Amino acid sequence: MKKFKQIVCILGAAALAGIYVCTLIFSITDQTQTKSWLSASLYATVAVPIFLYAVLLITKLLDRRNREEKEKRP
């Protein structure tokens, strides 16, 4: 599980970095779609960390459940 958490965190950090770069680019450009792209980037800036927190919370709960099941077995 530790390896999985590390992979999720690395992918999440890369996704956030990409989102921040896209947000910067979208805010500088002047196209007709810029406002909607910027809104989507800002939404993803909030949604991605929430999703990552949920994934890590679920893995923590599953890991705890697996440990408890192993302790119950003789």
Structural domain that includes position 52: 2-72
Tell me the average pLDDT across 12-39.
83
In DSSP notation, 29-49 reads: ---TTHHHHHHHHHHHHHHHH
User: Confidence class of residue 33 from pLDDT cuts 50, 70 and 90?
Assistant: confident
Does the pTM of the predicted model rise above 0.85?
no
Q: Is the pLDDT of residue 7 over 80?
A: yes
**pLDDT confidence tier of residue 50, bands split at 50, 70 and 90:** very high
Q: Which amino acid is at 50?
A: I
CA distance 36 to 45: 14
Res 72: pLDDT:
78
Q: Give the chain's domain count.
A: 1
| Distance in angstroms (rounded) separating the CA atoms of residues 68 and 10 | 28
List the one residue out of 17, 15, 42, 13 whose CA is nearest residue 27: 42
